[in-house]
Structure 1
Amino acid sequence: MDYSFDGTGGYRVPTGVVSLDVQLGGGVPPGTTILLLAEPGSSAEVFAQQFIYGGLKNHEDVYYFSAEHPIQEIVEDMKNFGWNIEKQIDEGKVDFIDAYTARVCNILPKNAACNLSAKDYLKLNTDTMNQLKAAATKERKGSYRGVVDSISYFLRSYELSSVIEAIEIISSIGKLTNAVQLVMMTDGMHDPIVENTLKGVCDGVIEFRMRERGSEIERSILIRKMRGMIPPDKTISYNITNKGIELETTTRVL
């Protein structure tokens, strides 16, 4: 893994979004678990995909736990930004954990369900929370990073105490292995007490925001907190380009 030196004696793991790494002094501290709190439509999923692609470029293995989207959809969406990871998948550098198929295939029409493999049928009796914990605690060789997409599904389906326990496991394993992990969450979907609880549990919190200004939509990032650093005191505007998320070089209060 390549680390950047932040000038204070600490090291940072690059996120894969160069302009964000500049704001973070080179990246985030090893072993950091980040809550990615995003408004619908803010394209936080692009950031998550850019994050795992950045890990592969940084010679890390990656895992992506998906309870919200089919795996093939994620792979195809990444190709739209030039992030073709099929070779890395074949090489075992990418570990996709498909919790989406397991939870929806029992409600699919018969003509769709009949195309599922025997392995997919076995997943019908797999508890998604156990899948998440197994993904977090799986022994991985070398440096790696991970994404949980998303914790909102678990908050809709499980008791808060169970979700907090899972995040604490993810965070603890990350600290032991120096893995940087993103836990995605939909902003505005949950009770403020729930949101604040998760903000408190995670090492870092990055919020993706949107608002309308006239006929335009403005998107911005707020780094609410990050372990080991003083976060910027301004929101940072960003654009979605054919290369992914790009932050504006000049920050401004929105």
Structure 2
Amino acid sequence: MVLAGIGIKELPSSSIILIEEEIGSIKGVFVQRTAYNMAKEGKKVLYISSTRSEDEVVNEMNLFKMEIPESMKLIGNSKAQLTLMEILNAEKAKKFLKNQNLDESVEDMYSFDVFVIDTYSYLFMDESFDRWLSSFEQILEIRKNENAIFIITTDVGVLEERVETTIRSLVDGIIQFKVDKTGNKVNRYMLIPKMKGLLPMDKIVPFKVTGEGILLDVRERVG
């Protein structure tokens, strides 16, 4: 688990975790490694990409020495909200997966433990608040009924401000990736203002991106 160095060995069960970044690729690296680790632990993971194909996600993960585990399934170029909700609905997912010509062995995997939606904001950037809320309420219901973990990524500023504020209030955890540019140097750091079951962190955590993914500099953390 990427966050193990700061005392978070696993994400809370039955939760929605929001991963925010001001336009960039760090959040993708984070959710891919997180999904990979959870799948390696035996959890059934469905990774949905709204902007990239399955092959592109695989290639990105291979750059960081990750091969897709059997318990992790990919669906790429998922640009339609209706399609997204069909995938997330446990009663419809089995039929959807079959129609996508995925391996027949996934027919019994219509109930997943973890859903990754990357990038969530892309799907709703032109929608009204009411239409977005109706869709998000379905995710809240699935989380409750299926005891599932949702990991959703957003680019800050893509969704209207009211939507972004409401998402932050409804989710169970928030992980923010930020960049500070000083001269010709780029400093990257992470902030976790909210996480179910934990006290809010009062310090930022610097990190670097290496060939293994995200490496936290825990020496900077106090408390």
* 2:22 equivalent to 1:28: no
AA of the residue aligned to 1:132 = L
Moved over 4 A (4+): 139-143
Deviation at 1:24, TM superposition (A): 4.4
Change (3 A) 1:37 1:134: same
> 1:67, 1:150 within 8 Å by CA — same for their partners in 2?
yes
> 2:193, 2:200 within 8 Å by CA — same for their partners in 1?
yes
Percent of residue pairs bearing the same amino acid type: 28
Aligned counterpart, 1:4: none
Out of 73, 84, 103, which is 1:95 matched to?
A: 73
Aligned counterpart, 2:81: 129
Instruction: Determine helix, strand or coil for the equivalent of 2:136.
Output: helix
Deviation at 1:240, TM superposition (A): 0.6
Out of 207, 210, 214, which is 2:183 matched to?
A: 214
> 1:35, 1:205 within 8 Å by CA — same for their partners in 2?
yes
Change (3 A) 1:158 1:227: same
Q: Which segment is superposed worse, 205-214 or 36-45? A: 36-45
Alignment of 1:174-253 (within 5 A): 174-251=143-220
Change (3 A) 1:42 1:251: farther
Deviation at 1:180, TM superposition (A): 1.7
Out of 28, 32, 40, which is 1:45 matched to?
A: 28
AA of the residue aligned to 2:55 = Q
Please report the TM-score for the alignment, with normalisation by the length of structure 2. Answer: 0.83
Deviation at 1:217, TM superposition (A): 0.6
Q: Which segment is superposed worse, 68-77 or 136-145? A: 136-145
Instruction: Determine helix, strand or coil for the equivalent of 2:10.
Output: coil
Out of 56, 81, 84, which is 2:64 matched to?
A: 81
Change (3 A) 1:172 1:185: same
Instruction: Provide structure 2 residue ranges, at least 5 long, that are not aligned to the other structure.
Output: 92-108
> 1:30, 1:175 within 8 Å by CA — same for their partners in 2?
no
Change (3 A) 1:96 1:35: same
> 2:45, 2:72 within 8 Å by CA — same for their partners in 1?
yes
Instruction: Provide structure 1 residue ranges, at least 5 long, that are not aligned to the other structure.
Output: 1-15, 104-127
Tell which structure's C-alpha radius of gyration is larger.
1
Please report the TM-score for the alignment, with normalisation by the length of structure 1. Answer: 0.74
> 2-side partners of 1:42 and 1:214: how far apart?
21
Q: CA RMSD in A?
A: 2.1
> 2-side partners of 1:251 and 1:179: how far apart?
33
Deviation at 1:28, TM superposition (A): 2.2
> 1:147, 1:182 within 8 Å by CA — same for their partners in 2?
yes
> 2-side partners of 1:81 and 1:235: how far apart?
24
Aligned counterpart, 2:105: none
Aligned counterpart, 2:100: none
> 2-side partners of 1:56 and 1:78: how far apart?
13
> 2:5, 2:216 within 8 Å by CA — same for their partners in 1?
no
Aligned counterpart, 1:118: none
> 1:38, 1:186 within 8 Å by CA — same for their partners in 2?
yes
Aligned counterpart, 1:57: 40
Deviation at 1:142, TM superposition (A): 6.8
